[in-house]
Amino acid sequence: MMSLNRSCFLGNPAVAGSSSPFSQSQKRRPASLKVVALIPKARTGDRNGSVVMESTLQEVKTESEVVELKSTVHGGVKDVYGEDTATEDQFVTPWSVSVASGYTLIRSPHHNKGLAFTEKERDAHYLRGLLPPVVISQELQVKKMINSIRQYQVPLQKYIAMMDLQGRNEKLFYKLLIEHVEELLPVVYTPTVGEACQKYGSIFTQPQGLFISLKEKGKILEVLRNWPEQNIQVIVVTDGERILGLGDLGSHGMGIPVGKLALYTALGGVRPSACLPVTIDVGTNNEKLLNDEFYIGLRQKRATGQEYAELLHEFMTAVKQNYGEKVLVQFEDFANHNAFDLLAKYASTHLVFNDDIQGTASVVLAGLLAALKLVKGSLSEHRFLFLGAGEAGTGIAELIALEISKQTNTPVEETRKNIWLVDSKGLIVSSRLDSLQHFKKPWAHEHEPVGELVDAVKSIKPTVLIGTSGVGRTFTKEVVEAMASMNERPIILALSNPTSQSECTAEEAYTWTEVLQPLHVLLNIVSFTVYSMGRAIYCSGSPFPPVEYNGKVYYPGQANNAYIFPGFGLGLIMSGTIRVHDDMLLAASEALASMVTQEDFDKGLIYPPFTNIRKISAHIAAKVAAKSYELGLATRLPEPRDLEKYAESCMYSPSYRSFRS
């Protein structure tokens, strides 16, 4: 018995290896419209006494037996499912699909080209009359869309417009994002995505990923198979408990996996059909959301303990069973108490990566390596102080310690001693060891207790101050001035997202590191004072505009994870890597740091501009893949001779394809 391809029902009728959006067997015959028939039958006798429409899939044995429904004199097909005649309280089947209709084609985001369909394509694929007569280029479409998006004054409106475009015309969305990446990156990701997640229930129009809740426990493999694409290479998954610096947003956290995967494609060149956004919904402890009529998730307190662990384990097991050993699972915005445990639990059995712990660490280390060219000296000569000892803070600290260990051939236990962390209770010291969470214990050094950050700065005398606290404006004027008083060029990284949670602004960092320096000149007059502003090397997690002061423009950098994870993921995919190793993260950091030019340094930047991000991602991918081959973790053999060119050749192109006429 022949089984019908399920892709026909899910809006993905493309056939591998064909340049036509529909297979030859799916093309419409001139005499009649061929459809897959879902034959309804009525049953009665439910408890309410109402008639319920129930459909069964008619079995077909051969291509010739597919049911042909002749067109009526009115030009339409027979109302098989009773949609026009059913009353509002009756069930209807909403997913009958005409597989050869041009109307379906222009509603498939994977294949839709809008007004860029050529005359021949319109004739061949039954699009005549469904589009205005003009034919325009994709380049003109990009110009039109960017002009349209610029009309919106509110960032959330721009976000909604971009998500709408992604749902209508995938290739145009990515071409627009790639060509205007610096302008649109803050729209599709941080900081705007934070507001989008807070209001996700209100702006939700259509699902963009898989929602797996406690209701699906025991059926997760079946749920994964409901997704129309089977060749998945990257999954970004969140449980919504710690979205950026905004806290528990439950199912509204879906905006994060969607946004991350859009960047995997735009910046790293991973095919969109190979990307799967997932939200694990175990409830939320956010009372505001639980009382919000527009909330789209489970209305219950968060599941914890064994119930939570069993659901996550079923998910991870099903992912490996359905997609294989080499699918990359990126954990995103899990709370500390789950993030570290999940990474430790599955690192030896799955290809897993936590962007908050490992991606943030890699991008920050890259910035520090680049900053050494401005402050001189080696990494081991610096002293680091963190405000925040969660996923990001401890992850960055550990990768810095590993890099110093690698450079100096010193045990990592020793290199940790120059790295100090402050949490909500003050400086982490050995006298607090018994009360510390396990991931903080490596950073408990011998020192007297210190409660306030400014006192920790004065006592530790760091050359680098890093904020990962998730609490805004904690780098006060007193703190920044203390850093400036003991360092010629203090490195200040205010990394918390979104912008409102940044530890200090770029302008504050530059103005508060202004000092009055007495300058004695033998001109028969008294000494006078000169002003020196902006000695700080500043970087933030969310973007800040340039700061102009006394005729000079200062360009604050952004330690955006988007520099690392798209290229890192591409490197894993193209090499067929089966496990993530710390040395791969170090390789990614060193690769990114090497891309900063003298022109960038002259502007005070420690990261390259995003305009070159695809070249940067290809370079990172090559270095990550090379390390994977070196460690024996790559399975795609033989190793390509030029990994960087190979990475570029693997990248998805958003340019329109010509369909077979």
Q: With the CA atoms of 611, 615, 619 and 624 taken in that order, what torsion angle do they form, in degrees rounded to the nearest 10?
A: 80
In a domain, 528, yes or no: yes
In a domain, 392, yes or no: yes
In a domain, 104, yes or no: no
332 is in an annotated binding site: yes
Range of the domain at 635: 568-595+607-650
Looking at the structure, do residues 552 and 589 belong to the same domain, yes or no? no
Q: Is residue 189 among the annotated active site residues?
A: yes
Q: Give the active site residue among 81, 126, 159, 189.
A: 189
Q: Which helix (H) or strand (E) holds 68?
A: strand 68-69
600 is in an annotated binding site: no
Model pTM?
Answer: 0.83
Looking at the structure, do residues 428 and 313 belong to the same domain, yes or no? no
Q: Which residues contact 126 (CB under 8 A, 6 or more apart)?
A: 28, 100, 101, 102, 103, 105
Question: What per-residue confidence (pLDDT) applies to 418?
Answer: 96
Looking at the structure, do residues 473 and 528 belong to the same domain, yes or no? yes
In angstroms, the CA 423 to CA 75 distance is: 70
Q: Which of 354, 373, 403 finishes a domain? A: 354
Q: Is residue 260 among the annotated active site residues?
A: yes
Looking at the structure, do residues 408 and 389 belong to the same domain, yes or no? yes
- pLDDT tens digits along 53-94: 333 333 333 333 333 333 333 333 444 444 444 455 655 444
Looking at the structure, do residues 582 and 472 belong to the same domain, yes or no? no
Q: Which residues contact 53 (CB under 8 A, 6 or more apart)?
A: 40, 42, 81, 82, 86, 90, 91, 92, 93
> Which residues of the chain fall below pLDDT 70?
1-100, 515-534
Looking at the structure, do residues 350 and 402 belong to the same domain, yes or no? no
Question: What per-residue confidence (pLDDT) applies to 515?
Answer: 56
In a domain, 422, yes or no: yes
- pLDDT tens digits along 109-163: 999 999 999 999 999 889 999 999 999 999 999 999 999 999 999 999 999 999 9
Looking at the structure, do residues 277 and 396 belong to the same domain, yes or no? no
Looking at the structure, do residues 455 and 517 belong to the same domain, yes or no? yes
Looking at the structure, do residues 493 and 590 belong to the same domain, yes or no? no
CATH code of residue 508: 3.40.50.720
Phi-psi category of 409—alpha, beta or left, where left has phi over 0 and alpha has psi -120 to 50? left
In a domain, 385, yes or no: yes
CATH code of residue 211: 3.40.50.10380
242 is in an annotated binding site: yes
Looking at the structure, do residues 417 and 525 belong to the same domain, yes or no? yes
- Amino acid 223 reads V
Radius of gyration of the chain (CA): 28
612 is in an annotated binding site: no
281 is in an annotated binding site: no
Per residue, the 3-state secondary structure of 422-472, as one string, reads: EECCEECEHHHHHHCCCCCHHHCECCCCCCCHHHHHHHHCCCEEEECCCCC
Looking at the structure, do residues 211 and 284 belong to the same domain, yes or no? yes
In a domain, 74, yes or no: no
In a domain, 96, yes or no: no
333 is in an annotated binding site: yes
Question: What per-residue confidence (pLDDT) applies to 64?
Answer: 37
In angstroms, the CA 623 to CA 590 distance is: 9
Looking at the structure, do residues 525 and 623 belong to the same domain, yes or no? no
Question: What per-residue confidence (pLDDT) applies to 503?
Answer: 96
Q: Give the active site residue among 113, 158, 175, 260.
A: 260
- Per the structure, the count of domains in the chain is 3
In a domain, 269, yes or no: yes
